[in-house]
Amino acid sequence: MRKATMKAMLAAGAVFMATGAAYGHGDVNPQPVDTAGLPETGEEWLTENPYRAETAGEEVWLKAVEIGASGYNQNCARCHGLEAVSGGLAPDVRMLEAEEYGDEWYVERFREGYTQNGITKMPAFGELLGQDAAWAIRTYIETRPDTETMDELSDELKALRDTLAGYAEDDSGADYEALKTRLAEMAAGIETLSGAPVADSVAFRAANLIDGSKAAYKSAAETLTVGLSAAK
């Protein structure tokens, strides 16, 4: 009896240690995601992302990207990589098609996680985070910009960042429409790997911010700085 208990405890300990080793990243508890501001998706799990701009409108889509970014960083980045650029520990999720086929696969993994030979390689998130968080994170993942294009554009983006930072101090002679147009053009040329129509790139964000005010030049310059340093 005692022996059996001991054995069970050891076995439990072994499983615990194996799981810990498999994660290798310390805390693996799913972190709740605050989805306030997003339309609720309800009890029944959908098979297609409801927060795309085509279905939900641009405002919901932008909100989903924002909430999804924080949900992703807290729950997925340690395995799937910062900005969803995989470091090899887990698959690169940017490639999943932004349509029902990719969504179904995404949502299955999100809900069930992945266990191999009794070892949890990816925890199940469905119950703990819920459906709204699932699709917000999905929206963030599928709108990541292609990093190769971002690298090609980085010199011009840096130059634009410096121009914007200058205008934040002194905007005499600033042609904000020309700047906005150029950034929007660059943004339009940046693709996603998922096939989603619009990439949430720093060029896209900066273009949206610029409105001719000094404050907007400043925040657009900051947005570019953060994005460019994240991309190295």
Instruction: Indicate the residue among 79 and 160 with the shorter CB distance to ligand HEC.
Output: 79
Around Cβ 189, how many Cβ atoms within 10 Å? 14
Cα gap 65→142, rounded to integer Å: 9
Q: Which of 121, 146, 154, 225 binds ligand HEC (CB under 6 A)?
A: 121
Work out which of 67, 76, 186, 198 binds ligand HEC, going by CB under 6 A: 76
Near ligand HEC in 26-45, by CB under 6 A: 28
Show the CA angle centred on residue 88, arms to residues 83 and 92, nearest 5°: 50
By CB under 6 A, tell whether 91 contacts ligand HEC.
Answer: yes
Q: Using CB under 6 A, which of 52, 63, 80, 94 touches ligand HEC?
A: 80
Using CB under 6 A as the binding rule, whether residue 135 contacts ligand HEC is answered as no
The whole-angstrom separation of Cα 16 and Cα 1 is: 22
The answer to whether the CB of 83 falls within 8 A of the CB of 230 is yes
CA angle 75, 129, 91 (to 5 degrees): 40
Pick one of 67, 122, 150, 199: the residue that binds ligand HEC (CB under 6 A).
122
- Shortest Å distance, C-beta 207 to ligand HEC: 28
Q: Residue from 40, 114, 158, 215 that binds ligand HEC (CB under 6 A)? A: 114
The number of residues making up the chain comes to 232
CA–CA separation, 232 and 227 (whole Å): 9
B/e letters for 90-126, b = 16+ CB within 10 Å, e = fewer, are: eebbbebebeeebbeebbebbeeeeeeeeebebbbbb
- The answer to whether the Cα torsion of 86, 92, 93, 99 is positive or negative is positive
> How many residues lie near ligand HEC (CB under 6 A)?
19
Write down the least CB distance from residue 134 to ligand HEC, Å.
Answer: 7
Span 191-230, contacts to ligand HEC by CB under 6 A = none
Task: Report the nearest approach of ligand HEC to the CB of residue 76 (Å).
Answer: 3
For position 176 contacting ligand HEC by CB under 6 A, the verdict is no
Question: Among residues 107 and 209, whose Cβ is nearest to ligand HEC?
Answer: 107
Residue 110 sits in the site that holds ligand HEC (CB under 6 A): yes
Contact between 144 and ligand HEC (CB under 6 A)? no
117 φψ region: left (φ > 0), alpha (ψ -120 to 50), beta (else): left
Residues that bind ligand HEC (CB under 6 A): 23, 28, 75-76, 78-80, 90-91, 93, 96, 106, 109-110, 114, 121-122, 125, 137
